[in-house]
Amino acid sequence: MAAKASRVKLASSVKLNRRKFLAAAAVASASGVANPTGTAAAPQAEQRLPSALPPNAHVAAAETGNPPEPASRGNGTPGSDFMVDVIKTLDIKYVPANPASSYRGIHESLINYGKNTMPEFLTCMHEESGVAMCHGYFKATGKPLMTLVHGVVGLQHAAMSVYNAWCDRVPVLIMGGNDLDAARRAPGVPTFHSAQDINAIVRDYTKWDDTPVSPQHFAQSFVRMYKIATTPPYGPVMMALDGGLQTEPIRQDGEQLYIPKYFPSAPPQGDSGAVKEAARLLANAERPVIVVDRLARTPNGVSLLVELAELLQAPVVDQGNRMNFPNTHYLSRPANVVNQADVVIGMELSDYWNTVNGFIDNGDDGLGRNVAKVKPQTKLISISSVDLLTKSNYQDFQRFQSIDVSMPGDAEATLPALIEAVRSAISSDRKDAMLKRGDAIRQAHAKGLDATKQAAAIAWDATPISTARLVIELYAQIKDLDWSLVSTSGNTSNWANRLWPIEKHHQWLGASGGYGVGYGAPASVGAALGNRDLGHFSVSIQSDGDLMYAPGVLWTAARHKIPLLAVMHNNRGYHQEVMHIQRMSNFRDRVANIGNDLAPIGTSIMNPDIEYHKLAESMGWWAKGPIVDPADLGPAIKEAVAVVKSGQPALVNVLTQPR
Amino acid sequence: MRFVSLPFLFTISALSALVVFAAGIAVLDTAVAASAEKGKAAFVQHGCWQCHDFAGEGSIATSNGRVIARTALPLEAFTGFVRMSNGQMPPYRPTVLSDEELGDIYAYLQSLPEPKAPSDIPLLNSNVRSR
C-alpha cells in the first residue's frame, strides 16, 4: 500500500499540461533524454508481473474499487465539455453505446454538461449492438449517429458491425476511448484495455480514422470525420479519444478554440464523356437491362430510376440492398433478364461479376465452377462510387469484372445527366420499338406475379408454417399503416419483395452489407428508433440465430421505448450451415451425421428449443408464442400490432419451415 | 384418395419427430402408403427438407424456386437428376441414398396434397401487390 500511495502522490504532484507533455516527450525523444519531468526514476521494474498473468487482487481492486483521486479537478473546462460543444453542432440525435471507463470523461460531459440531449445516450449491452443501431438508424432516416466504444475490447466487440457498415456503405461515427499515456493511466485493467493505436483494429474497413492530441485537433477531426463519412461512398469512420484529452482542463493561454463549420460535399459524378457513351449504347440497345443495388441513397433516387427506365422501356433488376425501384412497376423484373441483354448498366452494384456470371457450388472437385450469364458481346456499363474507395485486405470488392464503360462516381448524382443524355440519344425511329419492348415486359411482369402467387399457395396450411404464409399474414396486419420493413435477417425466400407492394424508399432497408450474422436485431432496433421519430411503423422478420448473437438489444428497445414488431422466422437452425454440411457430406459420399437433431451436428438450434417469446418478455417486451398452427398466426400478429402502436416493442415467435 | 394429416412436432427430439412424420403422412392407398411413409422419414434423414422444405414447396433461394411436391418428373428422370445433378443441388450417390430410399422419397412427394389455388386463399388476393 505504501508503494501505491507514493505513486499516487507523485502523479498528483506533477502538474503537466498534456500538450506540454507531448512536446516534452518529443524533445526528450529527439535529445535522448528519457526523463522529462526531472523526477527520480522509481525502481519499480522488479515489481512488475508478466503481462500474461490474469489480474491479481491489486489489479482487480483497481477495476472494481473506488477510483483514486484525480490529479486535478475543477480547474477550468474539461476537454470533453468542449467535445460535446463540437458534437452538438452536427445534429446528432443519439449515442447508442455500451458504457466503458476509457470514455468516462466524455460520457459524463454528454449526460451532465450536454444535458443528455442532442445527442441522447442510449444504453446498449454490446458494442456490436451500438454500431448496428447506428447502421439501421441511418438507413431509416438518412442521418448518421455516433457511438462510443471501450478502447480495445469494446472495439473488438464492435468490429463485425463496423465491417457490415463498411460493406453496406453506411456512415457511422465511432469513437473509442483509449489511455495513451502509459505513465499516467491506471494500471491493471485500464492498461490491458489500452493500445498504441486502437484504430488499427478497424482501419481496413473504415473510410478514415484519427487520434487527436488537442481539443482543437478534436474539433477539426470530428467535423472532418463527419464530412468524410457522409460523402458518397458513405462509410464508417473511427476516432481514438485519449483519456487524458477528455479529462484534463482546457489550457487557458489565450488561444481561442473554434468549431469548424460543416458544409456537405457534393457527391462525385460520372465523367461527362462516359455518360454520353453510356447513353448512346443504351439508346441503341435492343434489349437493355438496368441492374441496381445501392443506387437510391434518397427517395429522389427512386424517382430518377423510374424516369430512366421508362425513357428506355428497359427492365430493372433491383438487387435489393436499398429500395431502388417500386416492385409494382411493370418494368420491375427478376435477375434472369440479364441473360438476353445486349447492354447491361449496373449502378452501385456490390458484385458486378456475380451479376453477369454465376457460380455453381457443385464441381467435380468440390470447389465449384463458374458460368457466364450474359453473351460475350454484351456491353457492360457501370456507375459506382465504390470504385473511388477500394482497400486491399478484406475482399468485399468481389471478383474483377471487365467493364466497357466504367464511371467511378455516385450513381444517384449521375442519373440526371444520364437521363438527359439518353433523351438526346434516342432517335425518333427507335421510339416505337421501345414501346413494343415495354408492352412485352408488362405482360411478363403480370405472368411473373401469377406464378409467384401459385408458389406462395403451396404448403399454405403446413406446419411448421411456410415462409410465404408468415410473410403474407404479417402484411395483412400492417398494410394500412405507414410501414417500414426494417430488416429481414435469415432467409424467407424474398417473399416480402415478391408479394408486398414496396413503393416507398423507407419501406425496404436492405440487408447487412457484409452478411455478418447478428445484424438483424440491433439494426432493426436502430431503424425503429429513427422510424419512431418519423412516424413510420417498424416491422422486422427476425431470425433465430441472428437474435442470439446479442439479444440484449431487446432490453435496449424496451428501456428506451422503441416501438418495433419483430416476427420470428424461427427455423431452429443455422440454416445456411445446415445446407453446407449436407453439401460436403454429399461431395464425400457420406451420410450426414444428424445426431439427435434434424440437421447435421453443430448446425441445429434445438433440443432444447429457445423460447424467444420468454426471452423477449424477460427484457420488457410484449411477446407471444410459439405459434405452431398457421391459423393462430394472424390473430397473434394483430395483438402485437396493437401493442407496437401504443409505443412498445412486441415479438411473435413463429415456428417456420427452413426457407 | 384419402389424406391423413397430423402436425409436425419439431419441438421434441428428432427420433420422436421422425415417428410423427411417419404418422402424419398423406397416403393414396395401401401399396403406396408403406413407401411414402418410409419416404417421408428418408426425406428428413437425408436432408432433402433443408433446401426443399418439409412439404416440398421449395424456395427461390435454395432450390431456384422449384417445387418438388407432386413432381411431374417420372421416377426415372427424378432418379437421374438426384444421382447426376450438376446444378446447385449436390448429387446423392447410391452409397449415401439407396435406390429403394429414393423410390420411397418419390412416393412421398407424390403423396403430398395438391396445393390450394391462389384464388381460394383470400390473403393471397387482397394482401399482395397488384399488377
**What amino acid is encoded at B124 in this protein?**
L
Residue A485 in contact with partner chain B when CB distance is under 8 A = no
pLDDT digits (tens, 9 = 90+) for A518-541: 999 999 999 999 999 999 999 999
Cell numbers of B52, please?
Answer: 426443399
The mean pLDDT value for A263-289 works out to 98
**Nearest partner of A172 among A102, A97, A245, A107, judged by Cα:** A97
How many Å apart are CA A438 and CA A332, to the nearest integer? 11
DSSP letters for A446-487:
HHHHHHHHHHHHTTTT-SSBPHHHHHHHHHHHHTTS-EEEEE
The mean pLDDT value for A29-36 works out to 35
Residue B81 in contact with partner chain A when CB distance is under 8 A = no
Question: Cell 438518412, residue?
Answer: A142
Residue A597 in contact with partner chain B when CB distance is under 8 A = yes
Q: What is the DSSP letter of A338?
A: G
On the question of pLDDT at A33 being above 70, the answer is no
Those residues whose C-beta lies under 8 Å from the C-beta of residue B40, and which sit 6 or more positions away, are B21, B22, B24, B25, B108
A480: nearest CA partner in chain B: B127
More confident site: A3 or A308: A308
Q: Which of B15, B45, B85 sits opposite A362 (nearest CB)?
A: B85
pTM equals: 0.88
pLDDT digits (tens, 9 = 90+) for A57-89: 766 666 676 665 555 555 689 999 999 999 999
Cell numbers of A134, please?
Answer: 447506428
* % chain A with pLDDT above 70: 88
* % chain B with pLDDT above 70: 72
The mean pLDDT value for B101-110 works out to 96
pLDDT digits (tens, 9 = 90+) for A347-359: 999 999 999 999 9
Q: A609 contacts in B (CB within 8 Å)?
A: 11
The edge-to-edge listing of strands for the beta sheet with A405-408 is A316-318, A288-292, A343-347, A379-384, A405-408
Q: Which pLDDT score, from 0 to 100, does residue A18 have? A: 47
**Nearest partner of A148 among A101, A184, A191, judged by Cα:** A101
The mean pLDDT value of chain A amounts to: 90
Q: A611 contacts in B (CB within 8 Å)?
A: none
Cell numbers of A628, please?
Answer: 405452431
Q: What angle do CA A140, A157, A238 make, to 5 degrees?
A: 65
Interface of A with B in 491-530 (CB under 8 A): 491, 493-494, 498-502
Q: What is the DSSP letter of A383?
A: E
Q: Which domains occur in chain B, in start order?
A: 14-126 (1.10.760.10)
Q: Which domains occur in chain A, in start order?
A: 79-247 (3.40.50.970), 272-443 (3.40.50.1220), 458-572+609-655 (3.40.50.970)
Residues A95/A148, Cβ–Cβ less than 8 Å: yes
- The ipTM estimated for the assembled molecules is 0.80
pLDDT digits (tens, 9 = 90+) for A236-269: 999 999 999 999 999 877 779 999 999 999 999 9
**Nearest partner of A435 among A514, A330, A522, A340, judged by Cα:** A330
Q: Which pLDDT score, from 0 to 100, does residue A38 have? A: 35
The mean pLDDT value for A2-11 works out to 34
Residues A584/B96, Cβ–Cβ less than 8 Å: no
pLDDT digits (tens, 9 = 90+) for A360-401: 998 766 678 899 999 999 999 999 999 999 999 999 999 999
Which helix (H) or strand (E) covers residue A147, if one does?
strand A146-149
Q: Do A362 and B86 touch (CB under 8 A)?
A: yes
pLDDT digits (tens, 9 = 90+) for A174-209: 999 999 999 999 999 999 999 999 999 999 999 999
How many Å apart are CA A245 and CA A78, to the nearest integer? 8
pLDDT digits (tens, 9 = 90+) for B23-78: 333 333 434 444 899 999 999 999 999 999 999 998 888 888 888 999 999 999 99
CA distances (Å), A281 to each of A286, A405, A414, in order?
Answer: 10, 10, 16
Label residue A51 by pLDDT band (50, 70, 90): low
Q: Which of A462, A494, A590 sits opposite B54 (nearest CB)?
A: A462
